[in-house]
Amino acid sequence: MLSLTNQVIHCKAAVAWGAGQPLVIEQVEVAPPQKMEVRIKILFTSLCHTDVYFWEAKGQNPVFPRILGHEAGAVVESVGEGVTDLQPGDHVLPIFTGECKECAHCKSEESNMCDLLRINTDRGVMIHDQKSRFSLNGKPIFHFVGTSTFSEYTVVHVGCLAKINPLAPLDKVCILSCGISTGLGATLNVAKPKKGSSVAIFGLGAVGLAAAEGARMAGASRIIGVDLNANRFELAKKFGVTEFVNPKDYKKPVQEVIAEMTNGGVDRSVECTGHIDAMISAFECVHDGWGVAVLVGVPHKDAVFKTSPLNLLNERTLKGTFFGNYKPRSDIPSVVEKYMNKELELEKFITHEVPFSEINKAFDLMLKGEGLRCIIRMDA
């Protein structure tokens, strides 16, 4: 791939001009990378519910015009000043959060919440100079969570790029940029179920099924899927889910149903919906003495978690997680290797594929609740 370092690149990008408006394929200008930045060529990207949420802009600041997208597989085109661990041709996954490797969080073995690069959904510019690298007819187009992958080329801070095995197929591992790693890591890194244990998964969308996949990989013997949509149950069997509970089928709280099914509660639970009632149920359904509940879903900003302190005093543990506790640069390459070693199955998450010119079809599919992940081919 010809590197155009220090030159502006003209390329296609899908621009969101306003809340809920169909994306428009535009010819944009992408400026060269500045200090600690990297310009990458996106080969495959996928649609995550977070993209749709900020495109609809119903519950947060509307930032438009904007180039959305944050799950992708890419190749480095050029690097800016100070970048030493990436070079043109490297295969990378852009990540919506980062790892500067210098702050207290990055130096801690326990945290992945980088002070410099943690997710900021309101920021539409680069950290270095508070300017956008995208423009159209001389006017800036805003970035999204530091990635903006719905463009043939984008500029990303080096701390938000995971360098991966060049043999890994980018049209598969691109989905590890966000949701799949979030669910997988919530189980493997935070809940840590033991072999032969029982795990309840609340919410069987892509993140929840990734959490189930983590439980399957860990050797859990009972994986109980909890969802209000019974249509999701058949698909979930592919991800190791062994039993299903639809809270609508019972007159008692679902945590009581699960406790009865499991002789006092499950060993681990992972909550992936963000609904406060499900969060409380996920905590209250774990066994006293050793049960651990992990919260993954993002609740409404005004939601309040209410439970009796006795549930904690009786030795239940409640944990939260961000991006599955994975550090983007340090840990995501090893998750790619789990796929390469056939420990982790990714193909079953990919249910649709569209060319870049038809990116709005991917939005339509997600709005209808069809499928899990839709791959968008940039060259088509």
State yes or no: is 106 an active-site residue: yes
Classify residue 25 by burial, with Cβ atoms within 10 Å: 0-12, 13-18, 19+: middle
What tokens appear for 378 in the block? Answer: 């940039």
State yes or no: is 272 an active-site residue: no
State yes or no: is 373 an active-site residue: yes
The dihedrals phi and psi of 377, each to the nearest 5 degrees, come to -85, 120
pLDDT in tens, 141-155: 999 999 999 999 999
Alpha-carbon distance of 332 to 343, in angstroms, equals: 15
**122 pLDDT above the threshold of 70:** yes
Percent of the chain with pLDDT over 70: 98
State yes or no: is 50 an active-site residue: yes
Specify whether the CB–CB gap between 14 and 356 falls below 8 A: yes
pLDDT in tens, 249-278: 999 999 999 999 999 999 999 999 999 999
Residue 129's CB: how many other CB atoms inside 10 A? 11
The residue with tokens 């930045």 is 37
Catalytic site residue from 29, 49, 307, 317: 49
SS3 276: helix
Q: Which pLDDT score, from 0 to 100, does residue 59 have?
A: 72
Alpha-carbon distance of 314 to 289, in angstroms, equals: 6
The residue with tokens 């509970």 is 245
Catalytic site residue from 26, 45, 66, 71: 71
State yes or no: is 11 an active-site residue: no
User: What average pLDDT score do residues 160-167 get?
Assistant: 98
Asked whether the bond before 65 is cis by omega within 30 degrees of 0, the reply is yes
Average pLDDT, the chain: 96
Helix (H) or strand (E) holding 312: helix 309-313
pLDDT band at 2 (very low <50, low <70, confident <90, very high): low
* Cα R_g (the chain), whole angstroms: 21
Q: Which pLDDT score, from 0 to 100, does residue 60 have?
A: 75
The residue with tokens 């969080």 is 105
pLDDT in tens, 9-60: 999 999 999 999 999 999 999 999 999 999 999 999 999 999 999 999 987 7
pLDDT band at 176 (very low <50, low <70, confident <90, very high): very high
State yes or no: is 178 an active-site residue: yes
Classify residue 59 by burial, with Cβ atoms within 10 Å: 0-12, 13-18, 19+: exposed
Model confidence, pTM: 0.96
* Nearest CA among 140, 162, 143 for reference residue 151: 143
pLDDT in tens, 70-87: 999 999 999 999 999 999
SS3 273: coil
Q: Which pLDDT score, from 0 to 100, does residue 4 have?
A: 63
* Nearest CA among 52, 80, 82, 57 for reference residue 68: 52
Q: Which pLDDT score, from 0 to 100, does residue 61 have?
A: 83
pLDDT in tens, 319-335: 999 999 999 999 999 99
State yes or no: is 118 an active-site residue: yes
Q: Which pLDDT score, from 0 to 100, does residue 114 have?
A: 98
